């Protein structure tokens, strides 16, 4: 085995984008598929959704597509001739190696680029960076053995990872079903029900009400239209929707703040709920507690301050239910742009039992969902370990550390 620069065993072509006016989602006889970056990447093969008749750079069938912009190092194999944009390069093996071996070599070697990523707004690498990657080169017979070994062993790991990902998905579905049941039917399985008169809701306990959200708050308020530029821990934290993780907690690593004089009109109180109103995160919510410290919120969020008719935690759990998301979905498919205004949230319907029952439901869900979180974290940890094992096996095989 020798160590060699990638440019000596492969041809590397950097992508080049045509004018945006030359893109279309309609394929015609003269057009070819076009890939700007990794948005259409799959597990191994991309699925283009855009076409162009003015492709400046073309990748051939079987070429390896390598991302040169964040996330740098994502890899797919091209199934057909496609145009490639500035976010990708196409890599083709020369006669010193095979394309199959090159596929695994790039998996093992792309970590070198982490130290070279540049760019103020996003990470990126140059064609020179990729060309000068140091890669292991075995003789052809050994390459074939490595490919056969990795094809088999990595496929086993990938199958296990897929099963575990599916388990997490099923767990999340069960969690949402548990929440939905609690906030639309209550905790008593023998409770007498009545028709709600709403198709997506169905029957509800006969002593419950269905109330518009605007009657459960003293007003909905949009956030501050300020840029997130400060990192001063003495200023109030400036909460944006991107700061909220999948568990409804704030990410410590994305901390930004704004001066108190700007934040004053947007300071959150314990139990306030924030709603995302624009883009792909429409409907996402966050429940603020004083444990997060003094905080304000950004303009693409809407603050609801629950009044005495509804418990804050119960309201937050309602926003995780199928009943809540059904309303988001119904409105979203009717809208021409993905935007959910304060007026739309104000008219959203919420199922309301008595305050006492709300508190019991919230307490039940607090206790019950701990089990879901524990199981999900356990499965995700095992996925992380399998992913690490996958990386280690590829590296060991490529670097000649496994006797084949």
Digit-coded pLDDT (tens) for 205-230: 999 999 999 999 988 999 998 888 88
* Cβ-contact 317, 244 below 8 angstroms: no
Higher local confidence (pLDDT), 115 or 236:
236
Distance separating alpha carbons of residues 210 and 310, to the nearest angstrom: 12
pLDDT bracket for residue 146 (50, 70, 90): very high
16-25, 65-74, 125-134, 321-330: segment of lowest average pLDDT: 16-25
Judge if the upstream peptide bond of residue 71 is cis by omega within 30 degrees of 0.
Answer: yes
Give the separation between CA 22 and CA 36, rounded to whole angstroms: 13
Residue 89: predicted pLDDT: 93
Residue 334 has pLDDT above 70, yes or no: no
Mean pLDDT along residues 191-211: 93
Work out the pLDDT band at 159, boundaries 50, 70, 90: very high
Mean pLDDT across the chain: 91
pLDDT (tens digit per residue) in 57-108: 999 999 999 999 888 889 999 998 999 999 999 999 999 999 999 999 999 9
Least confident of 36-50, 118-132, 141-155, 188-202: 118-132
Query: Using an 8 Å Cβ cutoff, are 80 and 42 in contact?
Result: no
CA 289 to chain centroid, in Å, comes to 25
Question: By CB neighbour count within 10 A (0-12 exposed, 13-18 middle, 19+ buried), where does 401 fall?
Answer: exposed
Q: CB of 201 within 8 A of CB of 323?
A: yes
Query: Mean pLDDT throughout 321-331?
Result: 90
Question: The whole model's pTM is what?
Answer: 0.80
CA dist 76 and 401 (Å) reads 26
């Amino acid at each position: 085995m020798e160590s060699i620069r990638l440019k000596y065993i492969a041809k590397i072509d950097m992508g080049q984008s045509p004018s945006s006016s030359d893109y279309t989602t309609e394929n015609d006889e003269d057009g070819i598929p076009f890939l700007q970056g990794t948005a259409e990447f799959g597990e191994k093969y991309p699925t283009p959704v855009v076409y162009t008749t003015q492709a400046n750079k073309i990748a051939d069938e079987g070429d390896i597509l390598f991302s040169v912009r964040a996330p740098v190092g994502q890899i797919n194999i091209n199934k057909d001739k496609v145009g490639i944009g500035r976010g990708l390069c196409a890599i083709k093996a020369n006669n010193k190696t095979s394309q199959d071996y090159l596929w695994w070599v790039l998996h093992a070697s792309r970590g070198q680029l982490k130290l070279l990523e540049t760019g103020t707004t996003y990470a990126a690498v140059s064609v020179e960076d990729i060309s000068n990657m140091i890669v292991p080169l075995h003789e052809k017979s050994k390459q074939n053995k490595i490919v056969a070994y990795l094809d088999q062993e990595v496929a086993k790991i990938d199958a296990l990872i897929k099963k575990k990902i599916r388990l997490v998905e099923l767990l999340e579905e069960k969690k949402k079903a548990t929440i939905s049941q609690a906030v639309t039917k209550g905790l008593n399985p023998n409770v007498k029900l009545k028709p709600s008169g709403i198709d997506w809701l169905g029957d509800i306990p006969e002593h419950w009400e269905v109330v518009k959200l605007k009657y459960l708050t003293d007003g909905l308020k949009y956030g501050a239209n300020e840029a997130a530029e400060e990192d001063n821990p003495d200023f109030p934290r400036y909460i944006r929707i991107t700061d909220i993780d999948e568990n409804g907690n704030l990410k410590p690593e994305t901390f930004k703040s704004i001066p108190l004089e700007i934040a004053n009109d947007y300071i959150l109180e314990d139990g306030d709920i924030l709603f995302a109103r624009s883009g792909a995160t429409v409907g996402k919510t966050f429940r603020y507690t004083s444990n997060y410290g003094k905080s304000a919120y950004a303009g693409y969020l809407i603050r609801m301050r629950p009044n005495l008719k509804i418990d804050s935690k119960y309201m937050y759990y309602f926003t995780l239910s199928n009943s809540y998301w059904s309303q988001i979905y119904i409105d979203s498919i009717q809208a021409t742009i993905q935007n959910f205004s304060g007026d739309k949230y104000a008219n959203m319907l919420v199922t309301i039992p008595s305050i006492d029952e709300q508190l019991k439901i919230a307490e039940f869900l607090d206790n019950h969902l701990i089990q879901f979180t524990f199981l999900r974290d356990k499965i995700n940890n095992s996925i992380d370990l399998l992913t690490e094992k996958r990386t280690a096996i590829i590296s060991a095989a490529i670097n000649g550390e496994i006797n084949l």
